[in-house]
Amino acid sequence: MKHYNIRFTSSPSLDWSAAEVLTDFTLPWEQRHAPLTEFRALWDETHLHFRFHCVDEDIVLPDGPTPKDRVLGSDRVEIFFAPDLGLKPYYCLEMSPRGDVLAYEARFYRDMNWDWQCDGLQIDAKIEGGRYTVTGSLPLDTLRALNVFKSGSSEIITGLYRAEFHHRADGTVHSGWMPWVNPQTERPDFHVPASFGVLSLSQR
């Protein structure tokens, strides 16, 4: 499985330059260039902190009455956590460039509990020109309660993704899908064990 190393920080203010930069986001189901996506993460004694930075010259942000309506039709970044690769259950966070969050629990295959909420999640999102940034933090206690961060382990089974939408010339929207780990599925699908990698929390 692919691994990403999360460095420990003791600084009260996050220095993202200290984090490893992950750019392995591709468009495996399309024959076009994948726009740059940077993922960084740090952790401290109480929280896991993460940051997505995405180049996007055509940000799709539909309106809707609920965060779910707005998020599912928009450009966004996504993090899935799982206790194991059985994905029964797994936990999903989908976050838009304007800060809307769709959090849900799921069980393989695509059995969604839309009423689930992620305790303690904090999100900040910014759009600047042809790019957007989504920054967030999660309490380690929340990850422990979900059994995705287990006692005695420094690894978290995680999926990292980007939904890259853009407008076609006729005004319709094209949906593009960018995983960190290419699941090698015939059609775009993040909700399979093969799309997950591992986040490793290090002391350095």
Q: What is the pLDDT of residues 29-77, one digit of tens each?
A: 999 999 999 999 999 999 999 999 999 999 999 999 999 999 999 999 9
Asked if residue 14 belongs to a domain, the reply is no
Asked if residue 81 belongs to a domain, the reply is yes
Average pLDDT, the chain: 97
Q: Which residues contact 182 (CB under 8 A, 6 or more apart)?
A: 26, 28, 195
Domain that includes residue 148, residue range: 3-9+20-201
The pLDDT of residue 181: 98
Distance CA 188, CA 191 (A): 9
Does the global pTM surpass 0.95? yes
Choose among 140, 176, 171: nearest CA to 54.
Answer: 176
Asked if residue 188 belongs to a domain, the reply is yes
The pLDDT of residue 204: 67
Residue 180 pLDDT exceeds 90: yes
Number of domains the chain contains: 1
**In percent, how much of the chain has pLDDT > 70?**
100
Please report, for the domain that includes residue 46, its CATH number: 2.60.40.1190
Whether 50 contacts 38, CB under 8 Å: no
